[in-house]
Chain A
Amino acid sequence: LLQDVQKHSVHTLVFRSLKRTHDMFVADHAKAVALDDESHKLKLAVKLKADYSPVLHMPVLKEGKDRMSQYPDADDPEYLITGTHAYPSGPGVALTADTKVHRNPSESGIHSLALALPPSQLLLEGGGTRNSNLLRRTPVMPKPQWHPPWKLFRVISGHLGWVRSIAVEPGNQWFVTGSADRTIKIWDLASGKLKLSLTGHISTVRGVAVSSRSPYLFSCGEDKQVKCWDLEYNKVIRHYHGHLSAVYDLDLHPTIDVLMTCSRDATARVWDIRTKANVHTLTGHTNTVATVRCQAAEPQVITGSHDSTIRLWDLIAGKTRATLTNHKKSVRTLVMHPRQYTFASGSADNIKQWMFPDGNFIQNLSGHNAIINTLAVNSDGVLVSGADNGTIHMWDWRTGYNFQRIHAAVQPGSLDSESGIFACVFDHSESRLITAEADKTIKVYKEDETATEESHPVNWKPEILKRKRY
């Protein structure tokens, strides 16, 4: 009685079902007549005119349309696939090719989301008027200023270790370098000849500064020492004792006789130069403070730290004025613009520009994918960033346009891995760029006089604007 049922694959069965369904409905007389496009259009036009003629002239609101496409689907081209899935799939969600990739919302997606959400949920400042402003004004990159390219002019070899720090004398006659060979050397700026070697540190010299108010040279090193040298006698005349660990950087206040140092003990200290008293200990960072900068206007001290924050300090009270947490990696360098009331900070993820006095974020200069050790800027608006792998990028300060990239060869006899820029500085005439490098040399760059705007054009288009927030 039992008949053998022939076994088919599911695929075949599905197709058969499909076919059967088609057969069933293909000759369905109860089905409505198919829509004729032309007649339908005509019908609509008539209906519109008859029923809705009073409102037809009114504009079509944008919100109404936007509401439909508020939540873009996964196939939206604005969504980028950037990496593997960050989270485990939820219960009931199968791990398919679609769900196993992790999608990051794109820039415009976030914008649209931010604008669609009510303002109270978004913490937008200024309310709705601001929103529409943001929406309407698409940022357009202005044309960057043309700068002549820089070329290597001189290589000074004399140190026996990494050259870690540079400072140019206020008179612009000589400059001073501190090195891992525990010496401080003074070089003639014009000829590049060694003028003087100062010994006294017992570990790497991490920072040097020449005072413009006194004949003093200040140096700090990994031996926890901060020294004050009298350049009339070439002797150490003062020690600023107090740091608990290696001192990484120092700076002088331009108008008051105080000295700022920052250290691996997560503090920056303010010293009175004459009495050697520790006026303030600026605590708050949670990791090595890598750099400290000083200016006469508020905020008078800024520090960048390996806890990836920048702090602006109130020197009078010795307290933090603002903490900038936008960086994701440790901040190794800070530089202040010589003319504008702005500064820039260099980190392994980005270079960021900020406004004084509160540290409002201006923009990112991204593209230098290395650990940035040093920044320098001249009043022409040329920003130089030197990195640990020996690359130097030159940027236009205002627009963040990267107009030159340099990777100078290491001096013969050193390994390739020994190329690295530890410090760079413009001299006071701003015609020379001096860099301190890991191949134990000091390199001097100057502008290429033969270059013109035609020979080295700016690669710029008005619509290009790629700016990242983070």
Chain B
Amino acid sequence: MLLRLVISTLHRAAGSGDQPWVLPPLLALHAYPHFQGQIHAEQQQNNYLPAPTQLSQDQLEAEERIRTQKSYSTALVASRKEPPPYGHRKGWVPRAFEDFGDGGAFPEIHVAQFPLEMGRKKKTSNALAVQVDAEGKIKYDAIARQGQAKDKVIYSKYTDLLPKEVLNEDASGLQKPDEEAVEELTEKTRAALQKQVSQKIAAAMPVRAADKLAPAQYIRYTPSQQGVAFNSGAKQRVIRMVEMQKDPMEPPRFKINKKIPRGPPSPPAPVMHSPSRKMTVKEQQEWKIPPCISNWKNAKGYTIPLDKRLAADGRGLQTVHINENFAKLAEALYIADRKAREAVEMRAQVEKKIAQKEKEKKEEKLRDLAQKAREQRAGIKNQHDKGDEDAEAGERDMIRHDKRKERQHNRNISRAAPDKRSKLQRDQDRDISELIALGKPNPRISNEAQYDQRLFNQNKGMDSGFAGGEDETYNVYDQPFHGARDMASNIYRPSKNIDKDTYADDFDSLMRHNSGFMFGMIFGRLKVEHGLLRTKSSLVPIMDRGEKARSSLRRILSVWTNSWSRPSSTAAPKGRPPATAPKTTTMTRNAGRSESASHSTG
């Protein structure tokens, strides 16, 4: 065994040329030197001699050995399997096709059995059948072409990867196709695209011309059964075939709004490049992108090192440049400050001096007064002082009288009506300082927090919702804030005096006292000028049938005057009739509205 190993090593060493071969001394055997000469001679000869066309016996044997090693699985073991005879079937399970021989299942073996593959589920293989080319070689690219269109170009060979040799500029393979071919292709493409476009557009067009019907066809029909009884006795019939008219507005018969699932993608093309290189550590590090650090946002609340924060700040990036105007401003401020201080000081000094003078003057005055008082003490009293004392005494008497009267009144009350007294006393305390306007919303300001009354006296709490868990009933805002009655009547009720502002008091009296005849006369007279009614203070369009209805005219007037009086009432002072000239301007502005008003009545 060892010997053979050594020999094979030697063979290899000799075969691979003049490589020095060394054996470990422990393996070196006595037998080994005998080979040396022979091998060396062989090796030398190989260099000079042509390769033998016929192989010698031992070479043949060696090749045979190699071949058998290579073909590992081609050995045919032609042994026919049969079920073991009775009595030897303990633990034996028929599974393979041969286990059954020619017969059926073994009922005594309680295992699912499929004799002659009966009852076994069919397994379909998607393996391709072997295809060969004209020379009998196997087409290995069949698997790459599977499922692809016939005309598709698929590269799968090694030679497709190799670079082509460098061709000259005018090589035939590099020339563009001639113009004719290009033109032909262009026409073909254009036609194909045009077809596509017309289809797509037709679907989007709102109106389509009805499809033209094909011309009627006439068919001569000769029945096979001839005779009087058949076919109404006619020998032949001419049938006119007409295409049925189509309704262009007919909705599509089939549902087309469903999305059709996309078909399977075409099989992938063979990859014609080497697998990508594994990433080196250096490249991985190059791809490491530092996280964005903001000084303003840190949504996840990470702890950011101080140096990173400073780096993100970008403060180190730009050099500090201070505008010289800052220095100028500081200087100017300093000077202004100093000047202001000086001025203040100066003013303070001046004030001090003035105060000094004032003080002296006051002292002088006091001295004068003291002098005067001294002189008076020496002189006689004035007349006016006596009258004053009488008045004071009278006043005191009055007060005394009042007090007495009040005491008497109280005494009477306490004596006469004890039940009335409480009411009076209660009324005494009543606060009637605030005037309560009835029927108006009372914006009472209270300091207490206001609670929704519905939340009280409920044993379930807030979760249960309003109205005891009834979500459906909505009663939060289902009532108006105030009863429609009060509010509407207060806000929209015309007050009596609105008209007074604009047309003095006598308007109503005028209306009341003048008869229809008067109206007609006045209107008729005024109709002459501009078609406008000029009353004492307003302009009104004239009706021919002025006497028709006094009340309707009153309504017109109010609509009319309301329409224009609002803006002018702010401009003109209230109570005084506005001048005529500004009113005509408002007239023109509201011309549209006046027309509509007159129209509604006329």
Contact = CB atoms under 8 A, between A and B. Distances in A.
9 contacts: A18-B25, A44-B41, A64-B51, A86-B278, A127-B135, A127-B137, A258-B193, A326-B273, A341-B177
Given A256-B193, A258-B193, A58 B200 contact: no
B530 to A, nearest CB: 53
A123 B273 CA distance: 16
B337 interface: no
B201 A275 contact: yes
Interface residues of B, number: 74
A32 to B, nearest CB: 6
B158 interface: yes
Contacts of A48: 45, 48-49
Interface stretch (A206-214, A313-321, A383-391): A313-321
Nearest to A256: B190
A445 interface: no
A469 B164 CA distance: 10
B17 interface: yes
Interface of B: 15-17, 25-26, 28, 30, 33-34, 36-37, 40-41, 44-45, 48-51, 135, 137-138, 140-141, 149, 151-167, 169, 173-177, 181-182, 185-186, 188-190, 192-193, 196-197, 200-201, 204, 265-266, 269-274, 276-278, 280
Contacts of B138: 120
A315 B36 CA distance: 74
B36 to A, nearest CB: 7
B159 to A, nearest CB: 5
Interface string A90-121: 00000000000000000000000010000110
Across chains A and B, which 3 residue pairs bring their CB atoms closest together, nearest first?
A322-B153, A323-B269, A64-B51
Given A52-B49, A277-B197, A360 B33 contact: no
Nearest to B15: A68
A452 interface: no
Contact of B153 (A56, A297, A321, A399): A321
A256 B186 contact: yes
A291 interface: no
Given A120-B138, A270-B193, A297-B177, 14 more contacts: A17-B25, A25-B28, A32-B34, A83-B280, A86-B278, A127-B135, A130-B159, A256-B190, A315-B193, A316-B192, A340-B176, A361-B272, A398-B167, A399-B166
B201 A277 contact: yes
Contacts of B163: 139, 361-364, 467, 469
A322 B164 CA distance: 19
B153 A319 contact: no
Nearest to B166: A142
B269 A44 contact: no
Contact of A280 (B50, B140, B196, B265): B196
A189 B506 CA distance: 88
B38 to A, nearest CB: 10
A340 B174 contact: yes
A17 B26 contact: yes
A32 B165 contact: no
Given A122-B158, A277-B201, A21 B28 contact: yes
Contacts of B174: 340-342, 355
B154 A469 contact: no
A186 B163 CA distance: 42
Interface in A259-280: 270, 272, 275, 277-280
Given A297-B176, A325-B272, A125 B164 contact: no
Contacts of B160: 360-361
Given A86-B278, A340-B176, A364-B163, A358 B153 contact: yes
Contacts of B33: 31-32
A47 B266 CA distance: 69
A61 B270 contact: no
A60 interface: yes
B40 A123 contact: no
A58 B169 CA distance: 44
A141 interface: yes
Contact of A83 (B37, B274, B277): B277
A123 B165 contact: no
Contacts of B165: 137, 139
A309 interface: yes
B197 A272 contact: yes
Highest count of chain A CB atoms <10 Å: which of B158, B163, B169, B200: B163
A163 to B, nearest CB: 25
Given A256-B186, A256-B190, A296-B186, A341 B269 contact: no
Contact of B276 (A47, A328, A342, A362): A328
Nearest to A341: B176
A249 B135 CA distance: 47
Interface of A: 17-18, 21-22, 25, 30-32, 35, 40, 44, 47-48, 52, 55-56, 58-61, 63-64, 68-69, 83-84, 86, 114, 119-120, 122-125, 127, 130, 134, 137, 139, 141-142, 255-256, 258, 270, 272, 275, 277-280, 284, 296-298, 300, 309, 312, 315-317, 319-328, 339-342, 355, 358-364, 381, 398-399, 467, 469-470
Contacts of A258: 193
A277 B51 contact: no
A297 B185 contact: yes
Contacts of B167: 398
Nearest to B141: A123
Contacts of A327: 273
A327 B135 CA distance: 33
Nearest to A141: B166
Contact of B137 (A25, A64, A119): A119
A124 B166 contact: no
B59 to A, nearest CB: 13
Given A277-B197, A297-B181, A340-B175, A32 B166 contact: no
B197 A55 contact: no
A197 to B, nearest CB: 32
Given A59-B50, A272-B193, A341-B174, A470 B273 contact: yes
Nearest to A286: B265
A280 B48 CA distance: 71
A140 to B, nearest CB: 9
Given A44-B44, A55-B49, A309 B193 contact: no
A277 B153 contact: no
Nearest to A45: B48
A123 B158 contact: yes
Contacts of A272: 193, 197
B141 A316 contact: no
Contacts of A52: 49
B186 A255 contact: yes
A319 B149 contact: yes
Contact of A277 (B155, B200, B266): B200
Nearest to A258: B193
B224 to A, nearest CB: 49
A361 B177 contact: no
Contacts of B169: 340, 381, 398
A359 B200 CA distance: 32
A59 B53 CA distance: 13
A325 B273 contact: yes
Nearest to B171: A340
Contacts of A141: 166
Given A17-B25, A325-B273, A363-B164, A297 B182 contact: yes
Nearest to A121: B140
Contacts of A359: 153
Nearest to A110: B158
B185 A469 contact: no
B159 A125 contact: yes
Contacts of A61: 50-51
Highest count of chain B CB atoms <10 Å: which of A255, A284, A321: A255
Contacts of B270: 325
Contacts of A275: 197, 200-201
Nearest to B262: A283
Highest count of chain A CB atoms <10 Å: which of B153, B175, B177: B153
Given A35-B40, A277-B200, A361 B156 contact: no
